[in-house]
Amino acid sequence: MDRYWLLTWTTYGTWLPGDERGFLSGVRKGDGDRAIHNQPGTEYDRKLRGLTHFAERTQTAASVRLTREQAEAVCHQIQATAAFRQWKVGAVAVMANHVHVVVGVAGDPEPDTLLRDFKSSASRDLNRLMTVQQRWWTQSGSARKLPEENAVVATIRYVENQEHALATWFPGL
């Protein structure tokens, strides 16, 4: 594999911009440009109540918390999507309100493509499972490039140690 990523995305409405736990949505800088603080070793933005209130007011559907059955379906679909795309998954943890995936890819595809493929495939399976169309995920997610093997190994450990995981898969490198 040429490149490894830590991909993270949240279920709809459960981890809003401005959240006190930290968040990875764009924020306006002093010059008006948007920034996303998602580089390893840097602090997340957090505790911006005005942004959280705005997100709550503009939410278009109910918040989603995955059940164990739904989380297992997401975990299996991540494996299937990676196999189809010939990506190598090092770790998956699906919690009620977010997902972590460590994935290796050939070449240098855009990380948004990886997020889109995983999320859309998981949504299709969840919609089949629930027999209802629903908005499952927030709009984007976080894609952190893992610069070397030590970072990949450390990130796999991080994903393995997620508290409250409902479904996991750890094939390793």
Give residue 51's pLDDT band: very low, low, confident or very high (50, 70, 90): low
State both tokens at 115: 């997020």
Q: What are the b/e assignments for 59-96, b being 16+ CB within 10 Å?
A: eeeeebebeeebbbbbbbbbeebbeebebbbbbbbbbb
Give residue 50's pLDDT band: very low, low, confident or very high (50, 70, 90): low
State residue 91 phi and psi, 5-degree precision: -165, 145
Q: Are 60 and 27 in contact (CB under 8 A)?
A: no
| Ordered alpha helix ranges (H), the chain | 49-58, 68-85, 111-130, 149-160
Output the pTM of the full model: 0.80
Asked if pLDDT for residue 46 goes beyond 60, the answer is no
Asked if pLDDT for residue 47 goes beyond 90, the answer is no
pLDDT tens column, 66-100: 999 999 999 999 999 999 999 999 999 999 999 99
Query: What three-state secondary structure class fits 18?
Result: coil
Write the burial class of residue 11 (CB in 10 Å: 0-12 exposed, 13-18 middle, 19+ buried).
Answer: buried
State residue 146 phi and psi, 5-degree precision: -100, 115
pLDDT tens column, 106-140: 998 999 999 999 999 999 999 999 877 789 998 88
Domain positions in the chain are 3-12+64-169, 27-58
Residues 87, 41, 141, CA angle at the centre, nearest 5°? Answer: 45
Q: Cβ–Cβ contacts within 10 Å for residue 112, how many?
A: 11
Q: What is the CATH number of domain 3-12+64-169?
A: 3.30.70.1290
Residues 65, 167, 139, CA angle at the centre, nearest 5°? Answer: 45
